[in-house]
Chain A
Amino acid sequence: KNEVEQSPQNLTAQEGEFITINCSYSVGISALHWLQQHPGGGIVSLFMLSSGKKKHGRLIATINIQEKHSSLHITASHPRDSAVYICAVQKTSYDKVIFGPGTSLSVIP
């Protein structure tokens, strides 16, 4: 069983739509990461969360530790947001990152 699951696997949205990507995990964690991967492969860290909510520009990430669930929201989506969004967790501070399968987002003009 995968320790990190994401839904949906693929998502197509119209420009301007509000987008939510969900992540659930089955292990105790010290931190949860939301990462972005563009075609060409580089991984960019968007958020690192251990509790509550973080906001950066049009991106909002929330985590519910009791429910073992996190969401990434994108407000006013734009074609440049098209990428794979990956949820990943760490069990302890210096532990390896355990990656989810990713959600492929395509925002259409």
Chain B
Amino acid sequence: EPEVTQTPSHQVTQMGQEVILRCVPISNHLYFYWYRQILGQKVEFLVSFYNNEISEKSEIFDDQFSVERPDGSNFTLKIRSTKLEDSAMYFCASITSGSREFFGPGTRLTVL
């Protein structure tokens, strides 16, 4: 079965540093998403991306966050200046017509 991949699996960073989380969606998928899950809480939507632009973003997705599809295969989430409260598991997902949403394995971000 095709799968979404994410790198790194675990990222540790200092508060105020920039991080880039990477995702490789399934190749023929057209819609891409980032979600996050703070430890012990439910999964929350961050942003959706279609046709090389953001189609929807949540209140969480403020100016510190950005997404990009730099080369037609990778889909990245950048956090410009990390805060302690950004510590969470970040999931990438992709979907195409008629299919279910495929989730990546997640990147655990720890901000110290």
Residues of A within 8 A of B (CB): 31, 33, 35, 41-45, 48, 86, 88, 90, 93-102
* Least distance between A55 CB and chain B CB atoms (Å): 16
Count: A-B pairs, CB below 8 Å: 49
**B interface residues with partner A (beta carbon < 8 Å):** 31, 33, 35, 37, 42-45, 48, 50, 56, 89, 91, 93, 95, 97, 100-103, 105-106, 108
Q: How far is the CA of A94 from the CA of B100 in the complex (A)?
A: 9
In the complex, A95→B95 CA distance in Å? 10
Indicate if the CB atoms of B42 and A100 lie closer than 8 Å: yes
CA distance A58 to B78 in the complex (A): 41
A45 close to B45 (CB less than 8 A): no
A interface secondary structure, majority: strand
Task: Knowing that A31-B100, A97-B101 touch, tell me 11 more A-B residue pairs with CB under 8 angstroms.
Answer: A33-B101, A41-B105, A41-B106, A42-B103, A45-B100, A86-B42, A93-B97, A96-B56, A98-B45, A99-B44, A102-B42
| 10 A-B residue pairings within 8 Å (CB atoms) | A41-B37, A43-B106, A86-B42, A86-B43, A94-B50, A96-B45, A97-B33, A97-B45, A97-B93, A99-B35
Distance in angstroms from B65 CB to nearest chain A CB is 15
